[in-house]
Every structure is written in C-alpha cells, then in structure tokens.
Amino acid sequence: MTGDKLWLRGRREVRWMGIFRDSPALHFYLMQAVVFSYMAFRLLSRSYEAYGNLPDEFFDFPRRYVVELWPIPAMYFTSFQFIYEVLPRPAPEVIFGLQLTAVGACLLGLAGIVPRFCAVVAFLIGTHLTGFIQATNADVDGGGLALCLLLVLALSPERSYYSLKNGWSLERRSVDYHWPVFLFWTVVGAFYTCSGLNKMIDVGPHWPFVLHLENLAQWAIEKSLFISSHYSQPLVASFHLSPHLSLFAGMVSFIGELGFITILFLPRYRLFFVLSMVGLHYLVLNLAGINFLGNSALLLLCVDWNALVRKIEIRYDEDEPFWQTWAPRIKRLDWFGRVSLKSRTNSTGLAGFEPESIRGTCVAQDENGEIYAGIDVLEQVATRCPMLLLFSLAMKIPGLIYLIRPIMNRSRRKARVTKAGKEGP
Amino acid sequence: MAQLARRPLACPPSYRIWDYVGLAIANTVILLAILGFRRHLHVLCSRWISWLHLPNHRGPRRLIFAASIWLILSFQLRLLCGFYFPGIHGWHYNNLMSSITQELPDGIVLGESVDEPFLAGGILPENARYLPKTGYLTSGVMFLHFRGGEVLPGNYELTEIVFPQYIFGQLYEEIIEPELFFDVVRRSIDRRRQNRKFLLPLSIAYPNHMPYNPLPHDQFPPGAELEAVSLWDLTIHVNAERQVEVVAAHEKNRIYDR
C-alpha cells in the first residue's frame, strides 16, 4: 500500500467494529454491572402488584397506537401470558414475590454469583411483568432495552462474565467479550433507527418541521399548575417555547435516531448519537411526562469503553518540536501503560509505514490492527490518558476534526519542504 | 386458546387510517427497492449466508444471524415481542393548542364552589411564573376524602398502573372500577406515608413510566381511612403578576368505596 493510501487509511471515519475480535473484557463487565444494577433499581422502585388485582378480562391486549397487524400479538407468547389459559392469574403477593426474586437475581448477578443463570431469571421475570402491562394497554414501560441486554447476557458464554468462578481481568482478550457487545449495539441501533423510520412512515420526512415542540412546552407549563396532571418540568419547558429551537431539536433527534445504527461503523460519531438520544429522553420526560430516562445508562454502553484499555503502538517524528515536548509528557501521563511510544529513527516502520514516511507526523496501530495517522493518533492517546480525556471527547464533536486536520497537514508538508531544502537538489 | 376479544375501550385509541396507509406506502417503497436492487441484494444475502456457514464461532454466528433476521421481521411485521418492539411510532404536536383563554370558558360558572377549603391543594401556583401569557385555565383534579375529614389532592400515580385510563376510564371524568381503584390506591397510600415507593425511599426511587406531579405524601392518613374520591374541573385565573386564583370548581363525580 502506498504512503498516501496508508495515510488515508489512518484518517478514515468508517471503521467497522467487527464481530469476532479479540477484545478486552471491560465493556462486557460494564454491561453486566450496569444492567443488573439498573434492573434491580427499577424493580425496587416500581410495584407491579396492582396488576394482581385486575380481573382476567382486563388482560385482553387492547389495540392502541402501536400499530398491531396481528390478532394475537407476539408478546402473548414471548412474555408467557398464555400460561394463564390454565393457571389462575397471580395475586398481588405472588407478583411481589416475583419482583423480589428478580431483584435477588439482579443483585447476585451484580456480585458475580452465577451471573448467567441470574440473567436468565431476571430476563424471564422482567419480560413476564412487562407482559402484564402490555396485555392491559398494549404499551411499554420503558424497560425494553434493559430486557434486551439481559437477553444478550443470558445468551453469552459463562466465561465472559466477571464472577466468583472466573474472577476478572482487564488483560484478558477474547472474542467472547466482543460479539455480545456487537449484538447489543445492533439491537439498540435497530431500535432507534426503526423509531426514526417510524417518524418518516407515520408523519413524513418533514417531521422536524411539524414537530412543534413549542406547543408541547406551552402545554407542559399549563399542566404543571395542576397537581393531578402528568409530570412536567416548567423550568425546562420555558426554554423550549421557540419554534426555531423546536426545529433544531427535531433535526438533531431525527438525525440521531435515523443514524443510530451507524454506531457499528462510525466510531467518531457514537458519542453524538448517544448524547442526542439521552437529550431526547430528558426532554420527553420533562415536557411530555414519559419516562425513558433509565435508557440513558444503557445508551452510555454504546460507546467503546474498551478503547480505554486497548494498547496502542505509536511511531512519531522525534525532530518535530511538538513531539519533542509531548513524548515525555505522554509517557508520564500514561498511568496504565497503554501507550507504546517509539521514535521513527530508533525503530522499524509500523503497519506498512516506512520510517521516512513518518517524517513530520505520527502513526499508530492498536490491538485491533486499526491504523491512525496525524491528529487521530493524538485522539487515541488522549483516550488512554485520563488527564487528556477532554481532548479525546472534544474530537468527538462532529466536524471539529476537519478543522484541525489541515493544520496538522500543513505542519507535515512544511517539515518535508524543510528537509528537501536542507538536503538540496 | 382463550379468545382474545377486544373489550370496548374506556379510552378509544387515537391512531388514524394514515397509520396503515403510511405503512403500506413504506412497504411499497421497500418492495420496489428490493426489485430495483435485487442483484446487489442477492450478493449481500449470499455473503451473509456464507458468513453464517464459516466453521469458527458457529454458535454466536447462528445467534447473530437469527437476531438480524428477527430485527428485520419485527420491524416489517410490527411485532410487539414484550422485550422488544420496532421503535416508538411517529408523533408530533402540530395540533396541540394552548388551553389558556382570555375569557371565562363556556359552561364555567364563576365562583362555583370556590369556598371549598381543599381546592387550593389542587394547584401548584409556584409554576405560574413560567407561563408566557395570562388568562383562565381549566383542568381535571382529583381529591381524596378520608374518614377523619381530611381532603387531600390525589392523582393516578397512586394506582401504579401505566395508562390507568384503560382500566379506570377517562382520566378525571369517571372511575369505572371503584372497588379495584380503592384497593390499589390504599396500598399505595400506605407505602407513600412511609416515604416509600415500593421498596425504595421516594427521594431516590426510579419514577414510573408515566409519572404525575408529586403529592403531599407526608400528610396522608392511613389508606384504610380513604372513603371517597371526588373528581373536579378546576378553573383558575393567572394574572399579570402570575398570581393564581381558583375562580370556579365543578364537582363532576364522587365515588365511594362500596
């Protein structure tokens, strides 16, 4: 591969996350800890006992605005509601017991005690309880993504978990830590992208222009004066009375939802998509009084946490003033030993880059074999050095890197011209 | 299998014929795309199936393959699977209008029942400062009547049911299942008196999926003393100084526990 092609490869935006990559365990451990914590928190906060008081005729899957095409919804089977064809409906005390069992499973799973079995138990009970809600009004209660993650964990190998049996280690590498992350991201990406597609289908591609969030904000403030009304936060609503802000919010939400599936191959924009959806859920709670806020914890699992622990090897030009200053600093700031820094003249090439082609710049290759060049190398370094994390986050601002790259390129060309001038014709 | 008959909904659905027309148009577009790009799709599907049959990591490959098929089918067929559904439907607020009027609304009798001392508990006047305009507002309010004479504001948060209108009827118009309502509300009141929401303190508990405004839980008597629930239309006036005054209150319904 020529130098220019390598250079472009080092700066590309499209980087497929892969399915069967040897990956560190950190991300999977976080998925395990977050979902068990979140599910326990939900089940300890909400009582489903009221559904034990409802007569049988209320569980008849009334149609609502979730457009159902089938006379018998799939959830009749997938949430095991069909068992009540032969069994009596559970009393409130039984539902209380089910909730406590699920909470116990979540806490055991969080502690690493038979976590896979606990994921299965928590998933089955959580889905069944959700089935009560859906059977009485065919709606959701905001726990879908958590149940999906529990299902992913339940289908993951036992050896992937942190547990009393496996222990834990951030040094291990295995494909069994990676493909569950891929599966979870695919499910979350499909969910939000389908929501964006639903807006196009139900309303049209002009959805941001007819959203009129300012109407909802006005309504929310008016409703907030009455104690019996749905929750709304009038302070938040008062900032959204502008139709222009509604259009902006609608565009961000629309792009964020439609593009969410791209978290699988656009790593730089993951944080944008995640934060846009967190913002969406925050506004939906404070303006419309519908709570999906807990999904934010799961959305934060859609950024690449393993980047914090993946090792990276760098070749830099020691003649560059920038690297003369920053190479020793980076070595000091690399508290966890993730960054291997070598000057171009004191080492062989890296990932197809010959030492001469690294003049005036820097290149890097991480454990996944991903190549980075120029400012992208600094972004990867900053991801692994806690004191430089803000720089890494800043590079995730859409478009900012396109302003900074020309500056770095000018520096590289200048170094080449200077070298050519010194060496003569 | 028991008949899954649709009972008459207390609150009819709001979906429109356009929901189905929109879906039909989308499926037509997808069908045309499949026909137009069939060669590319054939190559893609062949690669996809070849990937499935690679010899390593067979179990996860099958799982991921099945999951991708299921994700596509659930969107296409609008499958509500309990733990997953094909995304929130499209919504907008183009037709949502402000309720504030400059004149007293028709049918409201100025001064009706305003002497009831408990009515002020049904409003949150501190939020009036955020209103961009002044005028009259009317909304439904619930009050809980206890044996000791206490009358306190309530709302459907006490039922702990998502979308309670599908069980108990149109919100703040009626309560269709009073015995059921009193059972669930009494249990909820007893927990909230102890500053609990189920098993966690109210201050840190995760809110319900459809939360309501906070109630004065510390003032609630025991749930066993709840004897009636009244439903009102409360009309308030907000003046230029953003002061709130109850100008009319119409009791629509009072339901007693049998």
pLDDT in tens, A283-301: 999 999 999 999 999 999 9
Q: What is the pLDDT of residue B4?
A: 47
pLDDT: which is higher, A356 or A310? A310
Return all residues near A249 (Cβ < 8 A) that are at least 6 apart: A211, A213, A240, A283
Q: Which long-range contacts (CB under 8 A, 24 or more apart) does A3-10 make?
A: A3/A353, A3/A354, A3/A357, A6/A351, A6/A352, A6/A353, A6/A357, A6/A363, A6/A371, A6/A373, A7/A373, A7/A374, A9/A371, A9/A373, A10/A363, A10/A364, A10/A371, A10/A372, A10/A373, A10/A374, A10/A376, A10/A377
Average pLDDT over residues B156-178: 85
Q: Do B212 and A57 touch (CB under 8 A)?
A: no
Q: Report the C-alpha gap between A194 and A258 in whole angstroms.
A: 7
Cα dihedral across residues B99, B101, B106, B110: positive or negative:
positive
pLDDT at A422 over 70: no
- Mutant choice from B14, B28, B124, B127 vs A, greatest count of A C-beta within 10 A: B127
pLDDT at A175 over 90: yes
Q: How far is CA A101 from the centre of its chain?
A: 29
pLDDT at A140 over 80: no
* Residue A413 near chain B (CB below 8 Å): no
| HEC sequence for chain A | CCHHHHHHHHHCCCCCCCCCCCECCHHHHHHHHHHHHHHHHHHHHCCCHHHHCCCHHHCCCCCCCCCCCCCCCCHHHHCCHHHHHCCCCCCHHHHHHHHHHHHHHHHHHHHCCCHHHHHHHHHHHHHHHHHHHHHHHCCCCCCHHHHHHHHHHHCCCHHHCCECCCECCCCCCEHHHCHHHHHHHHHHHHHHHHHHHHHHHHCCCCHHHHCCHHHHHHHHHHHCCECCCECCCHHHHHCCCCHHHHHHHHHHHHHHHHCHHHHHCCHHHHHHHHHHHHHHHHHHHHHHCCCCCCHHHHHHHHCCHHHHCCCEEEEECCCCHHHHHHHHHHHHHCCCCCEEEEECCCCCCECCECHHHHCCCEEEEECCCCEEECHHHHHHHHHHCHHHHHHHHHCCCCCHHHHHHHHHHHHHHHHHHHHHHHHCC
Q: Which among B197, B182, B196 has a CA at the least distance from the CA of B227?
A: B182
* Least confident piece of the model among A119-133, A153-167, A275-289, A312-326: A312-326
Q: What is the pLDDT of residue B2?
A: 40
Most confident of A339-353, B41-55, B90-104: B41-55
Burial bucket for residue B225 (CB in 10 Å: 0-12, 13-18, 19+): middle
* Residue B16 near chain A (CB below 8 Å): no
Q: Do B130 and A234 touch (CB under 8 A)?
A: yes
pLDDT: which is higher, A359 or B123? B123
User: For residue range B137-152, what is the model confidence (pLDDT) as tens digits?
Assistant: 999 999 999 999 999 9
Percent of chain B with pLDDT over 90: 63
Average pLDDT over residues A124-136: 93
Facing B89 at nearest CB: one of A179, A202, A294:
A202
pLDDT: which is higher, A1 or A24? A24
pLDDT at B21 over 60: yes
Q: Which residue has the tokens 């070749």?
A: A315
Q: What is the pLDDT of residue A292?
A: 93
Q: Do B200 and A45 touch (CB under 8 A)?
A: yes
pLDDT at A415 over 70: no
* Least confident piece of the model among A134-143, A167-176, B36-45: A134-143
Token pair in block for residue A98: 């089910």
Most confident of A60-64, A400-404, B230-234: B230-234
Percent of chain A with pLDDT over 70: 92
Q: What ipTM was assigned to the predicted interfaces of this complex?
A: 0.90
Q: What is the pLDDT of residue A202?
A: 87
Facing B198 at nearest CB: one of A47, A197, A227:
A47
pLDDT at A424 over 60: no
Facing B4 at nearest CB: one of A60, A218, A229:
A60
Q: What is the pLDDT of residue A255?
A: 96
Facing B123 at nearest CB: one of A63, A141, A227:
A227
- Mutant choice from B83, B95, B196 vs A, greatest count of A C-beta within 10 A: B83
pLDDT at A34 over 60: yes
pLDDT: which is higher, A134 or B221? B221
Instruction: Name the region of A414 (left: φ>0; alpha: ψ -120 to 50; beta: rest).
Output: alpha
User: Buried (b) or exposed (e) across A255-292, using 16+ Cβ within 10 A?
Assistant: bbbbbbbbbbebbbbbbbbbbbbbebbebbbbbbbbbb
Question: To the nearest whole number, what is the mean pLDDT of chain B?
Answer: 88
Q: What is the pLDDT of residue A421?
A: 63
Q: Which among A274, A175, A152 has a CA at the least distance from the CA of B57?
A: A175
Q: Which among A145, A140, A156 has a CA at the least distance from the CA of A75?
A: A140
Å between A44 CA and nearest CA of chain B: 5
Q: What is the pLDDT of residue A419?
A: 57
Percent of chain A with pLDDT over 90: 72
Q: What is the pLDDT of residue B5?
A: 45
Facing B19 at nearest CB: one of A67, A92, A216:
A67
CA distances, B19 to each of B72, B87, B109 (Å): 19, 14, 40
N- to C-terminal Cα separation, chain B? 35
pLDDT: which is higher, B171 or A293? A293
* Residue A266 near chain B (CB below 8 Å): no
Å between B107 CA and nearest CA of chain A: 20
Average pLDDT over residues A75-101: 94
pLDDT at B257 over 90: no
pLDDT at B160 over 80: yes
pLDDT at B13 over 80: no
Average pLDDT over residues A34-47: 96
User: For residue range B66-121, what is the model confidence (pLDDT) as tens digits?
Assistant: 999 999 999 988 888 889 988 888 888 998 999 999 998 888 888 877 888 999 99
Q: What is the pLDDT of residue B233?
A: 93
pLDDT at B11 over 70: no
Cα-trace Rg, chain A? 26
Q: Where does the pLDDT of residue B167 fall: very low under 50, low under 70, confident under 90, or very high at 90 and above?
A: confident
Average pLDDT over residues B193-220: 93
Q: In what order do the strands lie in the sheet with B244-256?
A: B151-154, B135-146, B226-238, B244-256
Question: To the nearest whole number, what is the mean pLDDT of chain A?
Answer: 90
Å between A228 CA and nearest CA of chain B: 5
Instruction: Report chain A residues whose CB lies below 8 A from the CB of B13.
Output: 62-65
* Residue B203 near chain A (CB below 8 Å): no
Most confident of A57-61, A298-302, B3-7: A298-302
pLDDT at B1 over 50: no
User: How much is the pTM?
Assistant: 0.92
